[in-house]
Amino acid sequence: MLVGYARTSTLEQAAGLEAQLRELEVLGCEKVFQEQASSVGPRRALERALEFTREGDTLVVTKLDRLARSVPHMWDIIRKLQAKGVGIRIVNMGIDTNTPTGKLMLNVLGGVAEFEREMMLERQREGIAKAKAEGKYRGRKPTARAKAEQIAELHAGGISLSEIARRLKIGKTSVHRVLQSDRS
Protein backbone atom coordinates (compact mmCIF):
# COMPACT_ATOMS: atom_id res chain seq x y z
CA MET A 1 0.00 0.00 0.00
CA LEU A 2 1.20 3.53 -0.75
CA VAL A 3 0.79 5.74 2.32
CA GLY A 4 1.20 9.49 1.77
CA TYR A 5 2.37 12.18 4.17
CA ALA A 6 1.98 15.91 3.50
CA ARG A 7 3.07 18.80 5.72
CA THR A 8 3.41 22.54 5.67
CA SER A 9 4.76 24.68 8.48
CA THR A 10 2.05 27.33 8.65
CA LEU A 11 -1.59 27.93 7.85
CA GLU A 12 -0.47 30.51 5.26
CA GLN A 13 0.98 27.65 3.20
CA ALA A 14 -2.42 26.09 2.43
CA ALA A 15 -1.75 26.10 -1.32
CA GLY A 16 1.45 24.13 -0.75
CA LEU A 17 -0.42 21.54 1.29
CA GLU A 18 -3.12 21.24 -1.37
CA ALA A 19 -0.46 20.73 -4.06
CA GLN A 20 1.16 17.95 -2.02
CA LEU A 21 -2.20 16.26 -1.48
CA ARG A 22 -3.01 16.40 -5.20
CA GLU A 23 0.36 14.90 -6.08
CA LEU A 24 0.00 12.10 -3.53
CA GLU A 25 -3.45 11.30 -4.90
CA VAL A 26 -2.14 11.15 -8.48
CA LEU A 27 0.62 8.79 -7.33
CA GLY A 28 -2.04 6.42 -6.01
CA CYS A 29 -1.66 6.81 -2.25
CA GLU A 30 -4.55 4.94 -0.67
CA LYS A 31 -4.14 6.61 2.72
CA VAL A 32 -2.79 10.12 3.28
CA PHE A 33 -1.80 11.78 6.53
CA GLN A 34 -1.56 15.57 6.55
CA GLU A 35 -0.74 18.35 8.99
CA GLN A 36 0.29 21.95 9.30
CA ALA A 37 3.06 21.89 11.87
CA SER A 38 6.58 23.20 12.22
CA SER A 39 9.30 20.68 11.53
CA VAL A 40 10.73 21.29 15.00
CA GLY A 41 7.48 20.79 16.93
CA PRO A 42 5.45 17.66 17.54
CA ARG A 43 4.14 16.12 14.34
CA ARG A 44 1.29 13.88 15.30
CA ALA A 45 0.18 13.05 11.75
CA LEU A 46 3.69 11.82 10.94
CA GLU A 47 3.65 9.68 14.07
CA ARG A 48 0.26 8.25 13.04
CA ALA A 49 1.56 7.57 9.51
CA LEU A 50 4.59 5.72 10.86
CA GLU A 51 2.37 3.67 13.18
CA PHE A 52 -0.12 2.94 10.36
CA THR A 53 2.37 1.50 7.88
CA ARG A 54 2.76 -2.26 7.62
CA GLU A 55 5.27 -4.61 6.01
CA GLY A 56 5.32 -4.13 2.24
CA ASP A 57 3.94 -0.57 2.40
CA THR A 58 5.78 2.48 1.08
CA LEU A 59 5.59 5.89 2.76
CA VAL A 60 5.45 8.58 0.06
CA VAL A 61 6.40 12.25 0.51
CA THR A 62 6.73 14.90 -2.18
CA LYS A 63 9.93 16.41 -0.73
CA LEU A 64 12.49 15.35 1.86
CA ASP A 65 12.06 18.53 3.93
CA ARG A 66 8.37 17.68 4.40
CA LEU A 67 9.45 14.53 6.24
CA ALA A 68 12.66 15.07 8.24
CA ARG A 69 14.30 18.04 9.97
CA SER A 70 17.85 16.69 9.78
CA VAL A 71 19.88 13.75 8.51
CA PRO A 72 19.82 12.00 11.93
CA HIS A 73 16.04 12.52 12.12
CA MET A 74 15.65 11.20 8.57
CA TRP A 75 17.63 8.07 9.42
CA ASP A 76 15.65 7.60 12.61
CA ILE A 77 12.46 7.58 10.54
CA ILE A 78 13.98 5.30 7.90
CA ARG A 79 15.24 2.83 10.54
CA LYS A 80 11.76 2.67 12.06
CA LEU A 81 10.25 2.02 8.65
CA GLN A 82 12.91 -0.53 7.67
CA ALA A 83 12.36 -2.43 10.93
CA LYS A 84 8.74 -2.81 9.86
CA GLY A 85 9.63 -3.72 6.27
CA VAL A 86 8.34 -0.38 4.93
CA GLY A 87 10.01 1.57 2.12
CA ILE A 88 10.07 5.31 1.56
CA ARG A 89 9.67 7.25 -1.67
CA ILE A 90 10.67 10.92 -2.05
CA VAL A 91 9.01 12.05 -5.24
CA ASN A 92 10.94 15.20 -6.22
CA MET A 93 14.26 13.38 -5.83
CA GLY A 94 13.19 10.20 -7.57
CA ILE A 95 14.31 8.21 -4.54
CA ASP A 96 12.80 4.91 -3.48
CA THR A 97 14.47 3.09 -0.58
CA ASN A 98 13.08 -0.16 -1.85
CA THR A 99 16.25 -0.12 -4.02
CA PRO A 100 19.94 -0.03 -2.96
CA THR A 101 20.56 3.01 -5.22
CA GLY A 102 17.64 4.79 -3.60
CA LYS A 103 19.13 4.22 -0.15
CA LEU A 104 22.52 5.58 -1.24
CA MET A 105 21.01 8.65 -2.93
CA LEU A 106 18.87 9.41 0.11
CA ASN A 107 21.92 9.44 2.38
CA VAL A 108 23.89 11.74 0.07
CA LEU A 109 21.02 14.12 -0.63
CA GLY A 110 19.97 14.18 3.02
CA GLY A 111 23.42 15.49 3.92
CA VAL A 112 23.19 18.16 1.23
CA ALA A 113 19.71 19.19 2.45
CA GLU A 114 20.95 19.55 6.03
CA PHE A 115 23.95 21.60 4.84
CA GLU A 116 21.64 23.85 2.80
CA ARG A 117 19.36 24.44 5.80
CA GLU A 118 22.32 25.31 8.03
CA MET A 119 23.58 27.78 5.42
CA MET A 120 20.12 29.38 5.18
CA LEU A 121 19.94 29.76 8.97
CA GLU A 122 23.43 31.27 9.02
CA ARG A 123 22.45 33.82 6.34
CA GLN A 124 19.28 34.59 8.27
CA ARG A 125 21.26 35.23 11.48
CA GLU A 126 23.69 37.48 9.57
CA GLY A 127 20.79 39.43 8.04
CA ILE A 128 19.17 39.93 11.43
CA ALA A 129 22.47 41.08 12.97
CA LYS A 130 22.95 43.57 10.13
CA ALA A 131 19.39 44.87 10.45
CA LYS A 132 19.82 45.23 14.23
CA ALA A 133 23.08 47.15 13.74
CA GLU A 134 21.27 49.50 11.34
CA GLY A 135 18.35 49.89 13.75
CA LYS A 136 15.93 48.31 11.27
CA TYR A 137 15.17 45.02 13.03
CA ARG A 138 12.00 44.98 15.04
CA GLY A 139 11.61 41.23 15.51
CA ARG A 140 8.45 39.21 15.29
CA LYS A 141 5.18 41.02 15.96
CA PRO A 142 4.00 40.02 19.47
CA THR A 143 0.80 38.10 18.72
CA ALA A 144 -0.26 37.33 22.29
CA ARG A 145 0.17 40.94 23.46
CA ALA A 146 -2.12 42.04 20.60
CA LYS A 147 -4.77 39.70 21.98
CA ALA A 148 -4.46 40.85 25.60
CA GLU A 149 -8.00 42.23 25.73
CA GLN A 150 -9.50 38.98 24.42
CA ILE A 151 -7.35 36.98 26.85
CA ALA A 152 -8.54 39.06 29.80
CA GLU A 153 -12.20 38.74 28.76
CA LEU A 154 -12.02 34.96 28.34
CA HIS A 155 -10.12 34.56 31.61
CA ALA A 156 -12.68 36.72 33.42
CA GLY A 157 -15.34 34.41 32.00
CA GLY A 158 -13.74 31.46 33.76
CA ILE A 159 -12.15 29.90 30.68
CA SER A 160 -9.01 27.86 31.38
CA LEU A 161 -5.60 28.98 30.13
CA SER A 162 -5.39 25.95 27.84
CA GLU A 163 -8.77 26.69 26.30
CA ILE A 164 -7.91 30.38 25.84
CA ALA A 165 -4.68 29.40 24.09
CA ARG A 166 -6.53 26.95 21.83
CA ARG A 167 -9.27 29.45 20.90
CA LEU A 168 -6.84 32.28 20.16
CA LYS A 169 -4.24 30.00 18.52
CA ILE A 170 -1.41 31.10 20.80
CA GLY A 171 0.71 29.30 23.39
CA LYS A 172 -0.53 28.64 26.92
CA THR A 173 2.68 30.22 28.24
CA SER A 174 1.89 33.38 26.27
CA VAL A 175 -1.60 33.51 27.81
CA HIS A 176 -0.07 33.15 31.27
CA ARG A 177 2.53 35.84 30.52
CA VAL A 178 -0.13 38.33 29.34
CA LEU A 179 -2.27 37.69 32.42
CA GLN A 180 0.76 38.10 34.72
CA SER A 181 1.79 41.39 33.06
CA ASP A 182 -1.76 42.72 33.45
CA ARG A 183 -1.56 42.07 37.22
CA SER A 184 1.71 44.03 37.55
- Cα–Cα dist 157/148, whole Å: 14
Q: What is the DSSP string of the chain?
A: -EEEEEEESSGGGHHHHHHHHHHHHHTT-SEEEEEE--TTS--HHHHHHHHH--TT-EEEESSGGGT-SSHHHHHHHHHHHHHTT-EEEEGGGTEETTSHHHHHHHHHHHHHHHHHHHHHHHHHHHHHHHHHHTT----S--HHHHTHHHHHHHHHTT--HHHHHHHHTS-HHHHHHHHHHHH-
- Look at 9-18, 72-81, 97-106, 116-125 and tell me which has the smallest mean pLDDT: 9-18
The pLDDT of 28-55, averaged and rounded, is 91
The pLDDT of 147-162, averaged and rounded, is 90
Please report the pLDDT score of residue 64 as a whole number: 84
Where residue 184 falls among pLDDT bands split at 50, 70, 90? low
Please report the pLDDT score of residue 44 as a whole number: 92
Average pLDDT value over all residues in the chain? 87
| Catalytic residue, candidates 9, 160, 162, 184 | 9
Q: Is the pLDDT assigned to residue 161 strictly greater than 80?
A: yes
Strand 58-61 to 87-90 pairing = parallel
Query: Is there a catalytic annotation at residue 174?
Result: no
- Cα–Cα dist 171/164, whole Å: 9
Q: Is the pLDDT assigned to residue 182 strictly greater than 80?
A: no
- Cα–Cα dist 28/1, whole Å: 9
Higher-confidence residue of 114 and 83: namely: 83
Whole-prediction pTM: 0.59
Please report the pLDDT score of residue 80 as a whole number: 92
